[in-house]
Structures are given as C-alpha cells and as structure tokens.
Amino acid sequence: MAERSRFARMVLPDGEEPDPRFTLANERTFLAWTRTSLAFLAGGIAFEAFQISGLSDDVRTVIAVFIIAVGMIIAAGAAVRWMNVERAMRKKKPLPVPAIIPFLSLAALVASAAVMILIIIQ
C-alpha cells in the first residue's frame, strides 16, 4: 500500500482508509455545498449590483452583505463537515449531525421574511 502524504497524515492522522466510494461520496457532497456557497456569493454580488426601486442603497447593501456572509459560512461549514465525516469514517464512528442544514434553513427563513416584508411595504 502506498505511503500517505505528510499533509494527509497531519489532517487525518489516525484510523484506517475507508472504502474509496464513501470518500468520493463525501467529496461530492463537499463540492455540492461549495456550489451552493458560490451561488450565494454570486447572488449577493448581483443583489448589490442592481438598483431596486423602493429600496435604499443602505438596505440593499445590508441585504447583499447578509447573502454573501451566508455563502461564506456555507463554504466554511462545508469544509468542516467534510473533515468531520472523513474522520468519522476512518474511525468507524457514526456520522456527525450536519449543523449546516439548520443554519441554511434559518437563513432561508430570514431571507423569505425579508422579501415578504419588502413586498408588503411597497
């Protein structure tokens, strides 16, 4: 069996190599969360770039920053989730609960409420 790289030994020091299919599935999930993060980042940039009638520049900027911050948190959460799942698989422990999902649901709820309020007050 090939020797693992120093970086691999540092990041994932113990446990045994899991089935490659599970590792690759974990990586695909990480990439899906990364795409979601990039969509939020692009959405925040687009929101700031376009003038919206009835919405002040300050409010638009705050909303855009919120959307971009959600994207950044999703990106960080994706990396942490990948690491935690990989370590759990290597140690043959139960997979961790995905903390990012309740956060994303809360962010969607806040965004939906904000849009609803903006529609009502116009």
Cβ proximity of 110 and 44 under 8 Å: no
- Please provide the DSSP assignment of the chain as one string: -PPPPHHHHHHS-SS-PPPHHHHHHHHHHHHHHHHHHHHHHHHHHHHHHS--TT--HHHHHHHHHHHHHHHHHHHHHHHHHHHHHHHHHHTT-PPPP-THHHHHHHHHHHHHHHHHHHHHH-
Domain ranges (residues) in the chain = 18-121
Q: What is the pLDDT of residues 54-103, one digit of tens each?
A: 778 898 899 899 999 999 999 999 999 999 999 999 999 999 988 888 98
Which pTM does this prediction carry?
A: 0.81
> What are the tokens at 77?
């959460």
Rounded Cα–Cα distance for residues 122 and 30 (Å): 39
Amino acid type, 95: L
Q: What mean pLDDT is predicted for residues 15-31?
A: 92
Q: Return the pLDDT at 1.
A: 55
Q: What is the mean pLDDT of residues 37-65?
A: 90
